[in-house]
């Protein structure tokens, strides 16, 4: 007698995630990304909340039903200026908060389905992009948090 079993494999997230290090503000990076790849990324109405409810991270999205593409750019760093009290050398200091503490070098995360090497090279060609690399395999659980 033949028996059938149902194999419930864990969900695999088929999106590719690029970690981008740049000195550009996120809106300017998205402007260049739209221009070189012919996208229409726009700022989402809702930002991502970090570990503390006071820090938010901007999200830019683009979905094309015809081409079956979806793109998302998420800020990984939030820099806030805090006024220091006391006789220090500087009146203000910058405090950096990360969305994903494991990605200390990544300023932005670019999420898309089926990124080609040509697209990655175009992203690397944006002026002031310091580095662009795929999310390391041991951090694949981050893809789950970027799927919303």
Tens of pLDDT, residue by residue over 87-136, are: 667 777 788 889 999 999 999 999 998 889 999 999 999 999 999 999 99
User: How far from 18 is each of 39, 135, 137, CA to CA, in Å?
Assistant: 17, 6, 12
* pLDDT band for position 79 (cuts 50, 70, 90): confident
* pLDDT band for position 83 (cuts 50, 70, 90): confident
* pLDDT band for position 11 (cuts 50, 70, 90): very low
Give the mean model confidence (pLDDT) for residues 30-42: 95
> What is the model's pLDDT at position 148?
62
**Is it the case that residue 12 has pLDDT exceeding 80?**
no
**Is it the case that residue 7 has pLDDT exceeding 60?**
no
Rg over CA atoms, the chain:
19
Angle between helices 117-124 and 26-37 (to 10 degrees): 130
Give the mean model confidence (pLDDT) for residues 130-147: 89
Q: What b-and-e string marks burial along 53-92, b requiring 16 or more CB atoms within 10 Å of the CB?
A: eebbbbbbbbeeeeeeeebbbbbbbbeeeeeeeeeeeeee
Proportion of the chain above pLDDT 70, given as a percent: 86
Average model confidence (pLDDT) across the chain: 84
Provide the residue ranges of all domains of the chain, joining segments of one domain with +.
Answer: 23-79+94-145
Tens of pLDDT, residue by residue over 51-71, are: 666 778 999 999 887 777 889
């Amino acid at each position: 007698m033949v028996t059938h079993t149902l194999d419930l494999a864990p969900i695999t997230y088929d999106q590719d995630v690029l970690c981008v290090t740049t000195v550009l503000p996120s809106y300017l990076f998205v402007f260049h990304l739209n221009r070189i790849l012919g996208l229409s990324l726009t700022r989402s109405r809702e930002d991502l909340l970090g570990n503390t409810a006071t820090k938010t991270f901007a999200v830019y999205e683009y979905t094309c039903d015809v081409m079956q593409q979806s793109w998302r750019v998420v800020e990984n760093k939030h820099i806030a200026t805090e006024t220091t009290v006391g006789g220090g050398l500087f009146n203000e200091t910058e405090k950096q908060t990360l969305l994903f503490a494991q990605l200390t070098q990544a300023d932005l995360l670019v999420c898309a389905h089926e990124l080609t090497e040509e697209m990655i090279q175009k992203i690397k060609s944006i002026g002031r992009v310091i580095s662009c690399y795929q999310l390391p395999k041991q951090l694949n659980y981050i893809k789950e948090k970027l799927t919303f």
